[in-house]
Structure 1
């Protein structure tokens, strides 16, 4: 991988404007912070404040990988999700294993920053340079397992990796997690942040 484990890009999705953009991962961030959790925290600090409503469109969902993600190093497939927590009202993060993080990295992105809020349920599909916001009206209300299967069928790709929320996240339950396969980013109620943005799922394949 380029840059000693970094792909060098942040993918940003604004669900309010439906704008999708990329920006470089700065040398300063790479030098000052090691791995996803540190950079996630700095991005959240820079982009939110004390008045930010955890369930408002100005909150962020930040998904971060590390320089070792996508390698054969044991446990290196883990990723961190960071947002202002609806459970505590302050910085919150959750960590999970699974194959989602390597696929995000193989698609060319070290970090995914989601902001704004959609008017209707949506999900993201990330496949290399193709990033799409898709209608999720037909999977809103489904379980995470059902969502995983439906998105794999819709994309025609059984190997695509899916992060999703269930009914707890949709209903803004403040202990809702984010599920990928048999793994879950369970801390801080970050599934409710996805639900507040009407974001049902994120699928990635690189």
Structure 2
């Protein structure tokens, strides 16, 4: 067994860390066997013998976002932007996350724009910051705020706009069972918050209009 740091507040940007007790790989596999039995199947059945190992390995990938911080992902800033003063937009960043209430997936796209001040980051870094927060147990609202807060904290831009659209399997596979329902969350800071025309331009561009 090991103790690992984890964010103490889901809506912040890598808040002061608390220590979370992390079970061993063997304990994780035993827990999967318990869940298989709880579901009504036999964990010793041939087709399920290696399932606990596979699930434990998959969790390492699906929840790998706990290993990084926003500062690590956005650490390299380029200051030579040749006088560029407009906002930078990366749209339709696909992601896969898991809701913290039922631990089932929600899948969608993120759109991010920011007005740089002292410099910019590589475009792939915006996709990586989405990936980092998506690969944690999440709510869509918290993830939207975390992405926005991370860019605000590290890049200190004049404004940030983040919009996330996603379909939640907790509504599709269980409960009300309504497939195709899309949930939209958005957060605007700085000049995007202060000027409705900037929000309108952001929305126009992410919808693909000229």
Which structure is higher in RCO with an 8 Å CA cutoff and minimum separation 6?
1
One fold, TM greater than 0.5? no
Query: Normalising by structure 2, what TM-score?
Result: 0.30
Quick check: which has more Rg, 1 or 2?
2
